[in-house]
Structure 1
Amino acid sequence: MTGPVVVGLDGSPASVTAAWWAAREAADRRLPLLLLHSWTTQPLNVPVPQEALSKQRYGGQVLQRMEAELLHRHPDLTVTTELVSEPAAQALLDLGQTASLMVLGSRGHGSVAGFLLGSISLHVLGLARCPTVVVRTGDPTVPEGWQPPAEIRGDIVVGMQHNGPTIAPLLEFALTAAQLHGTRVLAVRALPVSSLVTHPHALTEPGDEAWQAEEHGRLAAELAPWREKFPDVELVPRVTRGAAAQVLLSASAHSRLTVVGRRRHPSHLAWKLGPVAHAALHHMPCPVAVVPHD
């Protein structure tokens, strides 16, 4: 896609971290960056009077300051700004119709690695038509200003719950990002503990090993066409027994990005994030991409 990378910017530390991550991603993908601020949806701690003119002035200053800082670091980046009166969630969803990628910020849980998502972020994540990445405030891998990243994480991890066409958008997104950043992709599938009872070869320890080897081979076969499509990217299958959310969290402990899926919904009045996506969004230490699929 050639649409812009869109980031919701409200002036909070979380949104600033998201803007820096989005700028680097847009520069690497050679895409324009669009900074959006809704002056009717501002943080509660904004130190300005509640009059509309003051809120618009504050929003304009937030956009101008961020644009200048990003262009100082990425002079070749095309940056545009939009100051809108629509509620933030609706404005983001409208832009998401043609965006290549959307980026949101999230407050952390303090000393506990994780995200704190508000209603706006959850609404956008549940309905966006494009992949949406959530970045935790203060993520040490995000170079803000002229500060280099404090650490470099490795793999891009993608959750492979099911086979079939639903996995195609997730793998396409993960492999494209890996090719861009020169890293490998770890494709993770969890084997539920309950299937130990029903699988004919999983009742003994050797049988358990054979069962996992069989499932590993099945996953490797599913990934074979993608290896041909992305020959320069190392694509590693991993099959682990356990709850899907916990398996994915363990695999992503040192990843640079985790990719999960979410079904598209026909109505803007009804949406739902699955339990694995919810767990990833609230507990991953790294940015999380939610990719919609049919």
Structure 2
Amino acid sequence: MEENTAPARSFAHTDHDDLGIVVGVDGSEISYQAVAWAAVEADTRGCALHIVTSYANPIVPGATELDPEDMRDLRLQGQQVLADAASLAAHAVPGKSLHIRTELIFDMITGALIERSRRAQLLVVGNRGLGAIRRAVLGSVSTALTRHAHCPVAVVHGMSETDPAASSKPVVVGVDGSLNSVPAIDLAFDEASRRKVDLIAVHAWTDTSGFDLPVMGWESIRESQDVLLKGALADYAKRYPDVTVHRVVALDTPVRALLEQADKAQLVVVGSHGRGGFAGMMLGSVSTALLHLAQCPVLVVRQPSQTRAEEPAGQ
């Protein structure tokens, strides 16, 4: 493992075990967009940015039988990817005192990122992309991380929303009434507060008879569901009086309801899975679908008990 700190800047955080925000990069354009997004996020949180890449053999994980010259070339490519990523991160927050660390490893990237997530505030990756080093398809990595990471995971898509125009867009959160959505709501309020933007709380109500049939008394149902949604948000609204909340109760599938709001958002926050008191919203399938379909970054938050109960898939 090789670790570098680039370049020396002031940094107030004193917990050396805290890696801050960890971002995986593989040399692809989408992974560099993830780095830029992670840099902005680290700046708003006042924490470090830890950039990781791997030059492990993609065909034979952990193989060391490569020709020494090939190994050297892979290592040099990895170092260049890190240098480019660090430079891009610095440019994403010009004039800011962002502490940037880079780490070059010879381990499969998924397991390495899961391990580092134990000491991270947030893990960030692109939703897909095969990089110049040709060893990690971040599409599969992102899916594994959202299931097994020990911290929230942000998956950045083609539009990283780091431009000034996007900074005024709202944050969207999916609310299903289960315990699994509680950490998502908490983090969504925090994100909206730090970004100084509105929060759109989305709850999708479905009828088992399907959407092709009319739902009798929908307005009454919508009002009752809105009361439940308002109650679920009440404590957070008191803790974050600076955040303007817009409640949306939709007669639709959770995926469609969230995607409709995601089109005008800078970030969507969801729980990893769970069916709660609000019938019809299973965030396991929802979070997976959003990873593939949403154009803005998707932040997946898991219950701590879920992380502890499951063994990570290391490869």
Smaller-chain TM-score bracket: 0.7 to 0.9
Structure 1 counterpart of 2:290, one-letter code: A
The residue that corresponds to 2:249 in the other structure is 239
CA distance in 1, matches of 2:40, 2:87: 14
CA distance in 1, matches of 2:245, 2:69: 52
CA distance in 1, matches of 2:146, 2:57: 17
Is the contact made by 1:41 and 1:88 (CA closer than 8 Å) also made in structure 2? no
Please state whether the residue corresponding to 2:52 is helix, strand or coil: strand
- The 1:4/1:173 distance shift into structure 2, 3 A limit, reads same
Pick one of 23, 45, 57 that aligns with 2:76.
57
Identity of matched residues, %: 31
Say whether 1:211 aligns with 2:245. no
Structure 2 counterpart of 1:193, one-letter code: D
Structure 2 unaligned residues grouped into runs of 5+: 1-14, 60-67, 130-136, 275-282, 306-315
Q: Cα distance, 1:166 vs. partner?
A: 2.4
Is the contact made by 1:9 and 1:19 (CA closer than 8 Å) also made in structure 2? yes
CA distance in 2, matches of 1:262, 1:140: 21
TM-score by length of 2: 0.76
Question: Number of paired residues?
Answer: 261
Say whether 1:176 aligns with 2:190. yes
TM-score by length of 1: 0.81
Equivalent positions of 1:1-294 (< 5 A) are 3-40=19-56, 51-72=70-91, 73-107=94-128, 118-137=139-158, 139=159, 141-143=161-163, 149=164, 151-152=166-167, 154-163=169-178, 165-194=179-208, 204=216, 207-263=217-273, 274-293=284-303, 294=305
Please state whether the residue corresponding to 1:100 is helix, strand or coil: strand
- The 1:194/1:40 distance shift into structure 2, 3 A limit, reads same
Structure 1 counterpart of 2:161, one-letter code: T
Q: Cα distance, 1:142 vs. partner?
A: 2.5
Structure 1 unaligned residues grouped into runs of 5+: 44-48, 109-115, 144-148, 265-272
Please state whether the residue corresponding to 2:156 is helix, strand or coil: strand
Structure 1 counterpart of 2:153, one-letter code: T
Structure 1 counterpart of 2:80, one-letter code: Q
Please state whether the residue corresponding to 2:169 is helix, strand or coil: coil
Is the contact made by 1:141 and 1:153 (CA closer than 8 Å) also made in structure 2? no
Q: Cα distance, 1:263 vs. partner?
A: 4.7
- 1:204-252 deviation line (CA, Å, top 9, x unaligned): 3xx2211111111111112111111111111222111111111111122
Please state whether the residue corresponding to 2:87 is helix, strand or coil: helix
The residue that corresponds to 2:308 in the other structure is none
Aligned Cα root-mean-square deviation (Å): 2.7
- The 1:196/1:275 distance shift into structure 2, 3 A limit, reads closer
- 1:149-171 deviation line (CA, Å, top 9, x unaligned): 565561111111224x3222101
- 1:94-149 deviation line (CA, Å, top 9, x unaligned): 110110011101349xxxxxxx9622221122111111111113x16224xxxxx5
Is the contact made by 2:167 and 2:195 (CA closer than 8 Å) also made in structure 1? no
Please state whether the residue corresponding to 1:279 is helix, strand or coil: helix
